[in-house]
Amino acid sequence: MGPHSWVATSSSSSYSLDENTIRDGEYGMPSNCYCGGRVMRETSRTEQDPGKIYFSCEFRAKPSYHIRKWWDRVIEEELEILHSDIKRVSGEIESLQTHHRAGMEELISELKDGELTFIIMDMRIAEKRISDLKEEHEQSKAEITRLELVIGDFNKK
């Protein structure tokens, strides 16, 4: 069997799939199947794909549509998601820093006008958001490193 994201286990099934349900299982690590079953790790014992690791629905043998994805594809998709998150967070950090720098002259002027309290609150909120985004960015980088190690360990086997 190829790297299908879902498989129909019965051609006579009248089961219909909602487009959003299909999309939910199409990308990254699936946690639940379309049928509601848990998705579990499975190793192929077929001649065609011996030892190949899949993520498959626990009810895959029952008639319906079920998720079955190759492990390596899931990892690739998860890495793509993490890279996308890192780009997004980096962009937000850069935007906040640019906005913060651009507003400094205005803040100095407002300080002179006696609006110190509001400015300090705004600065603290912006600094907290920047700090949160930097932390999220570091967590995403750590997760990518962890996944790259898992892939490296898996490739050694």
Handedness of CA 121, 122, 123, 124 (dihedral sign): positive
Position 134 scores a pLDDT of 93
Position 139 scores a pLDDT of 93
Please tell me whether residues 114 and 94 are part of one structural domain.
yes
Please tell me whether residues 142 and 97 are part of one structural domain.
yes
Position 25 scores a pLDDT of 54
Position 157 scores a pLDDT of 66
Residue 1 lies inside a defined structural domain of this protein? no
- The pLDDT tens digits of the residues spanning 78-133 come to 898 889 889 999 999 998 888 878 788 777 777 776 666 777 788 899 999 999 99
Expressed in percent and rounded to 5, the helix, strand and coil fractions of the chain are 55, 15, 30
- Other beta carbons within 10 Å of 5: 17
Whole-number percent of the chain with pLDDT over 70: 80
Please tell me whether residues 50 and 105 are part of one structural domain.
no
Please tell me whether residues 19 and 58 are part of one structural domain.
yes
Residue 135 lies inside a defined structural domain of this protein? yes
The H-or-E segment that residue 42 falls in is: strand 39-43
Contact predicate 70/3, CB 8 Å = yes
Is it the case that residue 149 has pLDDT exceeding 80? yes
Please tell me whether residues 111 and 67 are part of one structural domain.
no
Please tell me whether residues 44 and 95 are part of one structural domain.
no
Mean pLDDT of 128-140: 93
User: What is the domain range of residue 151?
Assistant: 74-156
Instruction: Report the chain's mean pLDDT, rounded to a whole number.
Output: 79
State the pLDDT confidence band at 8, using cuts at 50, 70 and 90: very low
Position 88 scores a pLDDT of 92
- The pLDDT tens digits of the residues spanning 36-47 come to 899 999 998 989
- The pLDDT tens digits of the residues spanning 20-31 come to 544 455 678 888
Please tell me whether residues 85 and 34 are part of one structural domain.
no
Please tell me whether residues 103 and 59 are part of one structural domain.
no
Task: State the residue for tokens 């079920």.
Answer: 66
Residue 24 lies inside a defined structural domain of this protein? yes
Position 62 scores a pLDDT of 87
